[in-house]
Amino acid sequence: MSFSSDIIEWYNKHHRHLPWRETDNPYYIWISEIILQQTRVVQAISYYHDLITHFPSVEDMAQASEESILQLWQGLGYYSRARNLHATAREIAHKHHGTFPASYHDLLALKGVGPYTAAAIASFAFNLPHPVIDGNVMRVLSRYIGISDPINSSKGKKLIHDALSALFDNNNPANFNQAIMELGALICKPTSPDCDYCPVRSECFARNHGCVDILPVKSKKKPARNRYLHYWVIENQGNYLLHRRTANDIWKNLHEFLLIESPVPLTEFDILNANPIHPDIVLSKPDFVHHQIHQLTHQTLYVQFYHLHTMHFEPKNDFFWVKEYELKNYSMPILLRRFTDKYLI
């Protein structure tokens, strides 16, 4: 038996039945892979079903508005993925006449599709011999081969790549890729792997040398950046002041209340004296202030919501009034959505 046949045999008996594994439709597989880039499987399933139900074909997604896709994406974070889905669906509809590209290099040319996603679609949808490398695959191989260089260093990446090329099964690319990722997800887990149930345990370097808990090695990440977001939730008789974020930053194209951001914490006195609307516009004292900490991968957000009342005025720039019951129709970052659901609607 070889590494490939061992893991494929194990996979055939023990894999999870996930909806995107029941299809070879590249459009569905693409959607699932984009969701799974930063999302756990359990959370991904309902979003996957919602997206393919609302947009059963790439043409349907191409014809939809970006806003409708962002609304279905709320809560998943990394909203550039949703914007790229939409842009790519349009590209496929126009440039490829609605037919999904069927080669690794054409897939790689699509917006938001990197080497991992291109290899996943190429192998799962078209059974092409392209190995996938994700966190699960790196962990399995670093333990199985015994790679002690950090897996996020260039040397470690090359060793993983070489090991995978040597073990890869060109005759069963889809099954091999699914099997090695599933082994990492279910057996060769980050902590306390179930080595006694592993189909490749007899040949595994880490198990045979007692270093399962040490591998894989990773270089330290940069600490998360702190950001301080102070939202002015300005109400005029059941209407709220909103605008759309357009900068190349987190939450691009989603909606939010008026924001004052600072690199250091500000006092309530500083914030309420800032009046970013206009000195002539009279604002009430806040009737409540809500504090929240929101963790993103590389950023820690310290968020405050100040709920204030004002007289009516014509908003400037890109701000506009939205009726309270219509807030749900505007795509928002999940922390704002939770705030509006809990305190405003």
Which are the catalytic amino acids?
Answer: 33
Task: Supply the minimum distance, in Å, between the C-beta of residue 193 and ligand SF4.
Answer: 4
Measured distance CA(236)–CA(238) in Å, rounded:
6
Q: The tokens of 76 are what?
A: 């998943």
Note whether 44 binds ligand SF4 by CB under 6 A: no
Q: Which residues contact 216 (CB under 8 A, 6 or more apart)?
A: 138, 139, 142, 143, 147, 150, 151, 156
Identified binder of ligand SF4 from the candidate list 108, 185, 212, 296, rule CB under 6 A = 212
Q: Which of 58, 93, 87 is nearest to 70 (CA)?
A: 87
DSSP letters for 101-166: P-SHHHHHTSTT--HHHHHHHHHHHH--S-----HHHHHHHIIIII--S-TTSHHHHHHHHHHHHH
Task: Supply the minimum distance, in Å, between the C-beta of residue 207 and ligand SF4.
Answer: 4
Measured distance CA(148)–CA(150) in Å, rounded:
6
| CA 222 to mean position of chain CA atoms | 20
| Closest to ligand SF4 by CB, 184 or 286 | 184
Note whether 126 binds ligand SF4 by CB under 6 A: no
Note whether 204 binds ligand SF4 by CB under 6 A: yes
Q: Which parts of 182-201 interact with ligand SF4 (CB under 6 A)? A: 187-188, 193, 195, 198, 200-201
The total of other beta-carbon atoms located within 10 Å of residue 103's CB is: 13
Identified binder of ligand SF4 from the candidate list 83, 86, 90, 207, rule CB under 6 A = 207
Identified binder of ligand SF4 from the candidate list 143, 245, 307, 337, rule CB under 6 A = 143
Strand stretches in the chain, DSSP E: 225-236, 239-244, 255-256, 258-262, 288-295, 299-309, 320-323
Measured distance CA(280)–CA(41) in Å, rounded:
51
Identified binder of ligand SF4 from the candidate list 3, 11, 144, 176, rule CB under 6 A = 144
Tell me the window of 17-25, 116-124, 136-144, 216-224 that interacts with ligand SF4 (CB under 6 A).
136-144
Task: Supply the minimum distance, in Å, between the C-beta of residue 211 and ligand SF4.
Answer: 9
Task: Kindly determine how many residues on this chain lie close enough to bind ligand SF4 according to the rule CB under 6 A.
Answer: 14
Note whether 289 binds ligand SF4 by CB under 6 A: no
Task: Supply the minimum distance, in Å, between the C-beta of residue 261 and ligand SF4.
Answer: 44
Note the residues at the interface with ligand SF4 (CB under 6 A).
140, 143-144, 187-188, 193, 195, 198, 200-201, 204, 206-207, 212
